[in-house]
Structure 1
Amino acid sequence: MARNNITRRDMLRYGGMAGAASLIGKKAYGGGTCIGESMVPSIEMDAFTNCAVIEAFPPSPFILQPFTQDMPIPTALRPGWRYPDGTLSQPGDSNAWFVRKSVEFGDNSIVPPGPGKGQQDALGDRPGNHQVDKPRWAIPSAGTHQLWSSGQGVTGQDLGYPDPLLYHIRIQVRQSSFTNSPVVNINSAGNAVPLPPGASASPAGFTTFKGVQTPSYLLPPSTIYGFNGTFPGPMLNIEYGRPALVRFENDLDLNEGCFDRQDFGAPDWAFLTHLHNGHTAPESDGQPHHMTDHGGGYEPREWVDNLYLAYPAGGDDREKQSFLWFHDHRMHHTGPNVYKGMVGLAPHYDPVLDSGDETNGLRLPGVRTNNGDGTFDVKYDIPFAFYDCRLDDGVSPHTDEHTPLQGSALQSQYFPSNQFCGSIHPEWWGQLFHKHYPNHGFVGDIFTVNGVASPVLHVFQRKYRFRYLDCSVSRQYVLELMQGTPFPFPGQQGQWNFGVKGSNGTVSRAPGTCVMLQTQIASEGGLLPTPIKQDGIEIWPAKRREVIVDFTKYRDGSPTRPGDVLYLTDTSAMIDGRQQSKDNQFAVPLVKIVIDGPPPEPDNSLMPVPGRTTLRAPTPFDPKAPKVRDFTLQRGTPSGGGGSTETEWLINGAQFDPLNPLATPVIGSAEAWGINNGGGGWTHPMHLHMEEHHVIFRSTNLQKHADDTGKEDVVALEPSEQTIIYRRFRTFLGNYVAHCHNLAHEDHNMMFGWSIVKNV
């Protein structure tokens, strides 16, 4: 593909921002960083401050009017290069694929995506990670695609696929609101309290709260780092056999609105995007075992072209996946960046069995519309991104490892004068509150779905496909379709719970009634061998589950009626981020589902297809394969010393070292690995990059994980549990990682590197 420096005429359109071109008018890049803003150099951003960690979280303002705001339903991102305001370039636009930085081709150049040398990212072609004395460990060059669909990559392998659809996603500083409901400021006991001095909020009138006339307010929006500036970010609908290339570009230095960044998110404003769990070459995998140079991330003005080949592992159709997502993977700052908004969706479709068209293949619910540019949308196929958060009360101290000491060199040089260990921030009242280093994990008291707290979803009387994603930092959910009456419980997790009113007028919590079964058809590894009917669907951080729900009838066989209401409800209490708590009265409604009546077109979906007993035949594996390696997850610091200030968790007694893999399987091989929970009352969602695995042994409750029949990319480790998994290593050479996806654990070194090496 052609590459050329941008012309003088084009430069006139970009205006006069030194070192970072800007566009004129509504497409302006803007003036860059705001007065007083400063990113922390990556070499200093993990400096330890001795800030005492306080295990306390603020109570979020209480939402008065839940279930009044529609749940956003994402549509497919359209391909093409984008201006900073989101406008897609048109054919013939001379600015298309303009980049602000390119080591290989010069700054302020036009650099279209392609398989050329040094064309994969802003840093250009450079040596991969290898050891001279171990030639089989040699990793293909970084900055160049290892495999391109038409055979032009480093390996020369030709998949016979067309060139990829080209997408462009900018990481941007924007703002997002979780609710448009009025709120009341409360304390931890759930009682109304005045706004703290210095807080700024728009009045929303008075309301009767606990029998007293109380002022209410509108929440201010929170600053996010968003893919294309939204939370959740865009959705990539990917079809097997049609590769997708996404240019992720870092615009986090362009804070045109001068939004307050608060005190979390990677301080160097860098990113590293991972398609979870794509069968992807390491240079496109977005993880710190491959990206070991340049501070381990892409800084402002930099970009990377992640190539998602839509190629099943080993070319085996049985390895096709179904629901992926993408998120930031910046070392030591994944949790803050994800919590700050860096989440996107990536459903995958199989053109033979599961194309999104309910008239063919497995006949799963979905009415597909092709958009004419290679993309498509699917009605009745809805993703749900579950995310819990806390909002600042303006009086809770901000204490964290990454909060600098007042007057320290780090604080005085890089942070505003009011940001230091133990500082309070009334000016952030009602905005996102984050704690990067909680000893017991991070759980919120406001639950959101697709970026909205307590939304409403209208459905027709027909079958739907729901795709569930847990993109929370630590929270686990059990999702049931229930009926009940939501009552306010200010100061408690979820804020609203099913309840009953006693004869004396007092309200107590009560469980709801599960009125519909869900038919699980897929886990994070793709379609299950056979469907499973369940009351509740359990998901842990990073896990996905897909279900079919028939809104024509209830579980007792009685028909639904237009106007009927039920709630998608979380019945899994979590006092903190360690594990689920036993609380039979915990029933927090997450989404109000209103049944509107018959659909506008026939429901042609079937479950099951007559004469078909399986959804996706399982890949053959050896359930008695001898264990080759063991990995034990535990809390602590390295016994020999030398631990990083970030180290709180270990694997096999060691902190994560991106330069030293703990396993080096040979390409084309298969191995059984032991993944063990070292104890301490914690659960661990252990994620392994690159290929899915089969669970072939659990030392504890097998019934709780009935969907182990399918493939997974996250092992759900119960407290003190031992497991054995069977996995393969195909297609690509290079460095990958495995880590706990409780992001408070991952960011503090519960991770190990592993490498696929040559068979020499």
Structure 2
Amino acid sequence: MTEESENTGGLARRTLLRLGAAGGAAAAVAAAQTWAWPLLAQRGLVSPDGAFAAASTVFSDALYIEAFPTSPLILSPFNDPLPVLKALAPVPKTVFSKWPQPPGPGPGQQNSLRNERHQVWTSQVGLPDPIVYKINLLVRTHSFTTSQVLPIDKDGRPAVSFDAKRKTYAAGTKRFLPPSTIYGFNGGFPGARINAEYGRPVLVRFENHLNENPLNLDRQDFGSPDLSFLTHLHNSHTAPESDGNPHYSMVAGPRHRGYRPGMFVDNLYLNRPAGNDDGQKQSFFWFHDHTMDHTGANVYKGMVGLYPIYDPKNGMDMGDETRGLRLPGVRTNNPDGSFDVAYDIPLAFTDFRFDDGVTIHKDFHDGQGEFPAAKNPATHPEWWGKTFYKHFPNHGFVGDICTINGTAFPVLEVKRRKYRFRFLDASVARIYEFKLMTSTRGPKSSASLGYNGEELQGQYRIEDGQQCMQFNEIAVDGGLLPVPIKRDSFELWPAKRREVIVDFTRYQDGTPTTKGDVIYLTNVMKMPNGRKWAASTRFSPDPNYKIPLLKIVIGDTVPDNSLVPTALRARPPLPSNWQSLLDNRLIFEVQRGSAGGELEWLINGKPFDPFHALPSLKNPAGRTPLAQQKKGSFNLWELRNGGGGWVHPVHLHQEEHQVVMRNGKDVTRTPDPGHPDDISGEDTAALDPGESVILYRGFRDFTGPYVGHCHNLSHEDHAMMFAWEITP
């Protein structure tokens, strides 16, 4: 890829990022030493570093305006039922065998360009032919609530609103939100759910129809401007050509940031654990877009799908609570070849903002000419009530309304029995902390309680909320835990998953529940921007910040054959000499760019280069090895948070890891109190400000290019990603 190929008018994107690291820095320093210096001195930022950082903020102000709308207040929360996706039906062989380009193991059968083949076909590892699914990328609409809304301003006061023809409605006028334009898997949000099983491979044909707009929808000013897509099954153990990662995409296959309109790709998921080791089996994947530079925009626009994966071996975890571990779930095998599992519910959390029609749209993507129809910088009254996104925010994008499975403030009626919930944070940057609470007074709008500004985020509070139940945590990113962990609350970081069992027959004090009781799944982590939390249980809790997200209503008693097991799945043992690998570990530090995080995000001081593996920082052995690992090898990798008061969820593709050290302390036997999940396998490392973790990883079964990156998608899209490879 050349710089010119990315340039759609104005400065090429990566040229601008380099300008932020070099020329932009010089401009910032020059500004700091002239007109900005008195202001910097007044703020105590007269040191070279301080002047530099502050001036770079001024410099970035010329590129974008960090202003966000206040979403209209949803007036009748907790009336829409929680959507629970049914499993997608596979395509019969009699159908896909007649496709013009049917899937298969031969040369050219991996994508529509006919230039790749699957590295490992199912028969090569003793597995049956894959079950085939078809998913189209479609432009459609989505409604987040059926409730009326009241337009409000940042002070919580009634505000004017608009319609698609820019007609103005007086302050105090109640409205319905217009449907938002989405790019969705099969046109939905979340777009599809595939219930998979270990030992039964899956092939998904993803086909790009984003150039088609049969409903003549306004595409707005976010999403991949060339309408490309790249689907990543996070974090399946998958060959590079099916991994949906930008490193592979740029050097092979499409040789572009993604697959463009009219193209398809057949992603093959073997559903076979790394090294064919049962201890490496996982339980909940999700698939999402991974288009280089526009992952956040495409995910925010709707490209989210669910992929629970079950383990039928010895009936261990197959969605049948009468067998194996007896985790909650009643399985129904459908005639179309799919299966559904009752009492086993995925919950995908995403936060949004809705346009107020008066907030100006401006960031450097406009200067690229990426969205010429928007004519930015401009306000967009015609987009009132539709999803608002800013590609290039300083602190990472957070919304002020949370949705679960695409619905704001849903309600779920549960039976009096145990449930399995699979939590996924599909937000761009927001971290959540969940508790189960009761409330006597019920939800009250933050505006009616006198809050304003950032304190309006979440829209409703239960200030009298009291914890009433605990979670039995049974699984994380890397699958089932060795043993369940009883939790009063748990954090959920971007891209991470947590699975819990909740017993709805009794409260934590032993009192039985009764039909009609109401419980609120509540977020207690205040996070006003993408930098980090402002309040949480671990750090300066705010006793009034209790945001109800899901209303749970207790229903009838039904049979329950499930258990909370005392033991789940043992982790593969670490080698007894793992500490001998410490001197030769690979070290990767995530950090802001030299002109400030407003302009770029880096790893080891470098922006993402899809054509070259990144060198490690100098390790204790004095070496700076490339991020290349031999197939079948194991190693220690260290991830460092470069500071600045930011948090970073760092995701490494291809195979999950185990944290062995956090902040220089061995956590293999006694985990860090703030990160009790360190005893498990994970695919995304949660880095608090200034933290470092050392991970033990394997590199098995495949060769080729992969990536690691921050899963704050604003950071990833602005260069906080690195290329690495598995070599033969």
TM-score interval, smaller chain? 0.7 to 0.9
After superposition, the C-alpha distances for 1:145-204 in whole angstroms (9 at most, x for unaligned) are 000101xxxxxxx2211100000000000000000100111111110022258766899x
> Under a length normalisation based on structure 2, what TM-score does the superposition of the two structures give?
0.84
Residue of structure 1 aligned with 2:140, choices 166, 174, 177: 174
User: By how many angstroms is 1:647 displaced?
Assistant: 6.0
Is the CA contact (8 Å cut-off) linking 1:444 and 1:493 kept in structure 2? no
SS at match of 1:295: coil
Q: Which residue of 2 aligns with 1:136?
A: none
Paired residue type of 1:698: R
Output aligned runs, 1:230-629, within 5 Å. Answer: 230-293=188-251, 294-352=255-313, 353-404=316-367, 410=369, 415-416=372-373, 419-484=374-439, 485-490=442-447, 492-499=455-462, 510=463, 512-582=465-535, 583-599=542-558, 602-608=559-565, 613-622=566-575, 624-627=579-582, 628-629=585-586
Q: Does 1:739 align with 2:697?
A: no
Q: 1:96 to 1:425 in 2, by over 3 A?
A: farther
Is the CA contact (8 Å cut-off) linking 2:457 and 2:528 kept in structure 1? no
SS at match of 1:120: coil
Q: Which residue of 2 aligns with 1:122?
A: 112
Which has the larger share of helix? 2
SS at match of 1:468: strand
User: By how many angstroms is 1:626 displaced?
Assistant: 2.6
Q: 1:563 to 1:41 in 2, by over 3 A?
A: farther
User: By how many angstroms is 1:479 displaced?
Assistant: 0.9
Q: Which residue of 1 aligns with 2:23?
A: none
Partner Cα distance (2:445, 2:548) in 1: 11
Is the CA contact (8 Å cut-off) linking 2:660 and 2:693 kept in structure 1? yes
SS at match of 1:438: coil
Higher mean alpha-carbon deviation, 267-276 vs 395-404, is at: 395-404
Partner Cα distance (2:193, 2:164) in 1: 39
Partner Cα distance (1:92, 1:670) in 2: 43
Residue of structure 2 aligned with 1:649, choices 578, 589, 601: 601
Output aligned runs, 1:1-80, within 5 Å. Answer: 43-44=7-8, 47-48=12-13, 52-80=63-91
After superposition, the C-alpha distances for 1:592-615 in whole angstroms (9 at most, x for unaligned) are 00001212xx2110112xxxx420
Paired residue type of 2:287: F
SS at match of 2:725: strand
Paired residue type of 1:729: F
Partner Cα distance (2:222, 2:12) in 1: 14
User: By how many angstroms is 1:402 displaced?
Assistant: 0.8
Q: Which residue of 2 aligns with 1:21?
A: none
After superposition, the C-alpha distances for 1:674-719 in whole angstroms (9 at most, x for unaligned) are 1000000000000000000000111189101111111000000000
User: By how many angstroms is 1:537 displaced?
Assistant: 1.7
Partner Cα distance (1:73, 1:519) in 2: 21
User: By how many angstroms is 1:585 displaced?
Assistant: 1.5
Q: 1:91 to 1:670 in 2, by over 3 A?
A: closer
User: By how many angstroms is 1:372 displaced?
Assistant: 3.2
Partner Cα distance (1:651, 1:397) in 2: 32
Output aligned runs, 1:178-217, within 5 Å. Answer: 178-196=144-162, 214-217=172-175
Partner Cα distance (1:523, 1:515) in 2: 23
Partner Cα distance (2:645, 2:351) in 1: 22
Partner Cα distance (1:351, 1:566) in 2: 33
Is the CA contact (8 Å cut-off) linking 2:156 and 2:456 kept in structure 1? no
SS at match of 1:624: helix
SS at match of 1:280: coil
User: By how many angstroms is 1:317 displaced?
Assistant: 0.6
Partner Cα distance (2:321, 2:164) in 1: 56
Q: Which residue of 1 aligns with 2:28?
A: none
Partner Cα distance (2:98, 2:143) in 1: 31
> Under a length normalisation based on structure 1, what TM-score does the superposition of the two structures give?
0.81
Q: Which residue of 2 aligns with 1:149?
A: 122
Q: Which residue of 2 aligns with 1:83?
A: none
Partner Cα distance (1:166, 1:198) in 2: 41
Residue of structure 1 aligned with 2:613, choices 635, 648, 661: 661
Percent of aligned pairs with the same amino acid? 53
Partner Cα distance (1:619, 1:493) in 2: 46
Paired residue type of 1:348: I
Q: Does 1:721 align with 2:680?
A: no
Q: 1:356 to 1:198 in 2, by over 3 A?
A: closer
Paired residue type of 1:233: G
Unaligned residue ranges in structure 2 (runs of 5+): 17-59, 536-541, 615-626, 666-670
Q: Which residue of 1 aligns with 2:179?
A: 221
Partner Cα distance (1:576, 1:42) in 2: 29
After superposition, the C-alpha distances for 1:107-151 in whole angstroms (9 at most, x for unaligned) are xxx1111111001001112xxxxxxxxxxxxxxxxx10000101x
Paired residue type of 1:67: F
User: By how many angstroms is 1:421 displaced?
Assistant: 3.3
Q: 1:638 to 1:218 in 2, by over 3 A?
A: closer
